[in-house]
Structure 1
Amino acid sequence: MQIAENAALVVVDVQKGFEEVDFWGPRNNPGADDNIAWLIDVWQGTGRPVVFVRHDSVLPESPLRPGYEGNGFKEYVERRRGKGAAGAELLVTKSVNSAFYGAPDLDAWLRARGIAQVVLAGIQTNMCVETTARMGGNLGYDVVVAFDATHTFDLEGPFGWRRSADEVAQASAVSLHGGGFARVVTAKEVVDAAGA
């Protein structure tokens, strides 16, 4: 695997509201936050572009709604914002799952800079990370998902089916990787390939 010199790291929805366990339920991968921070540090240290994505939920009960404390980025992300190379950082806000349907237009920003590869990290593996990965693949980007730099929560679906966060995350990874939308790898593999 190669990570391009101008590959963009897209940090999806790493917001305080996801720490509200009573709302979301059990999560997986407690090491995700350390891996997300590591990737941001590597990207900023090598001058590569970082896109911070924030979900502004339109649901009045959501911990991610604007005006509520949970809408803000987790402290370790907020502390890193603005530390990258000049012109190599973007804030995208959205109210749907895909970062490509946010403002400003992520696709336009990437194309204007000749960026063809995106590395995804963040929350939730099977929701906004997966949707952004699928859409990025459909738009022709070389999409890499740093799986252990993501996490999700237990989920109930149809027919009373309930899956643990690990099961949901694994199914997401299998769909993305096996379906050809993205390469699903570890944060270490990404860092090693980035030459950091």
Structure 2
Amino acid sequence: MDINLSNKPALLLIDIQKGLNDLAYYGGKRNNPRAEERAAELLAFWRSRQLPVIHVKHNGTPPSRLTKGSPGNDFKEITQPIKGETVFEKEVNSAFIGTELDAFLKKNSIRHLVLVGLTTAHCVSSTARMAGNLGYDTYIISDATATFDTLGIDGQVYDASLVHEICLANLKDEFATVLTADSLLSKF
């Protein structure tokens, strides 16, 4: 996979929403505390070069912290969409299901996707897998994504950093290229 500015890569900001701040609700621990800051740095870069920016919002069902109409459904200020930026709302993990994302990308001849956001184990992974299956050149930014501790089927708690690394390892080379924000920016 080769990414450069002439490819007009789209930045997909996935579920960077206030409801994901409730650490107690999500198991109490999360990795990459600066993930939103790194995503905001990439967003500023994309905006400065007038590259495509797409925000994805998850509308959860009660009792989700992301339930539509609740304060947790709102985007975090750090990566708040601005006028003219595309927003897709979804009700499941993948940004491709129940939205017009694929049609929008095809209509705008976008073949290269850069994924940032929350959470690596859920919506980022689901979106990356579908993007890869649909033939998009997909890049996941490891330090601009994050996840939470995960409770295993036997009750064991798996550390968020371990879950994050395993998710990225499962996606790497099969569905996406995994890079840090700095390594991505060095390609431009």
Q: Same fold (TM over 0.5)?
A: yes
Deviation string 1:143-184 (CA, Å, 9 cap, x unpaired) is 000110001100012122321100100000100005x10001
Q: What residue is the counterpart of 1:8 in the other structure?
A: 10
2:153 to 149, 158, 163: 158
Aligned length: 185
1:125 to 111, 120, 124: 120
Q: What residue is the counterpart of 1:92 in the other structure?
A: 88
Secondary structure of 1:175's match?
helix
Q: What residue is the counterpart of 1:116 in the other structure?
A: 111
Q: Say if 2:168 is the partner of 1:170.
A: no
Q: What residue is the counterpart of 1:32 in the other structure?
A: 35
Deviation string 1:79-102 (CA, Å, 9 cap, x unpaired) is x522xxx5xx31000010000114
The offset of 1:26, in angstroms, is 0.7
Secondary structure of 2:141's match?
strand
> Contact between 2:37 and 2:78, CA under 8 Å: does it hold in 1?
no
Whole-Å Cα distance in 2 between the matches of residues 55 and 31 of structure 1? Answer: 21
Whole-Å Cα distance in 2 between the matches of residues 116 and 110 of structure 1? Answer: 7
Whole-Å Cα distance in 1 between the matches of residues 21 and 59 of structure 2? Answer: 16
Runs of 4+ with deviation above 4 angstroms: none
Q: Say if 2:60 is the partner of 1:53.
A: no
2:180 to 174, 186, 194: 186
Query: TM-score when scaled to structure 1?
Result: 0.90
Query: Percent identical across equivalent pairs?
Result: 39
When the two chains are superposed, the root-mean-square deviation of aligned CA atoms in Å is 1.2
Q: Which amino acid aligns with 1:2?
A: I
Deviation string 1:48-86 (CA, Å, 9 cap, x unpaired) is 00000000002x1111001110000001122x522xxx5
- Structure 1 unaligned regions, length at least 5: none
Whole-Å Cα distance in 2 between the matches of residues 126 and 54 of structure 1? Answer: 16
More helix by share: 1
Q: What residue is the counterpart of 1:63 in the other structure?
A: 65
Whole-Å Cα distance in 1 between the matches of residues 36 and 82 of structure 2? Answer: 15
- Structure 2 unaligned regions, length at least 5: none
> Contact between 1:92 and 1:102, CA under 8 Å: does it hold in 2?
no
> Contact between 1:3 and 1:190, CA under 8 Å: does it hold in 2?
no
Q: Which amino acid aligns with 2:67?
A: R
The offset of 1:4, in angstroms, is 4.0
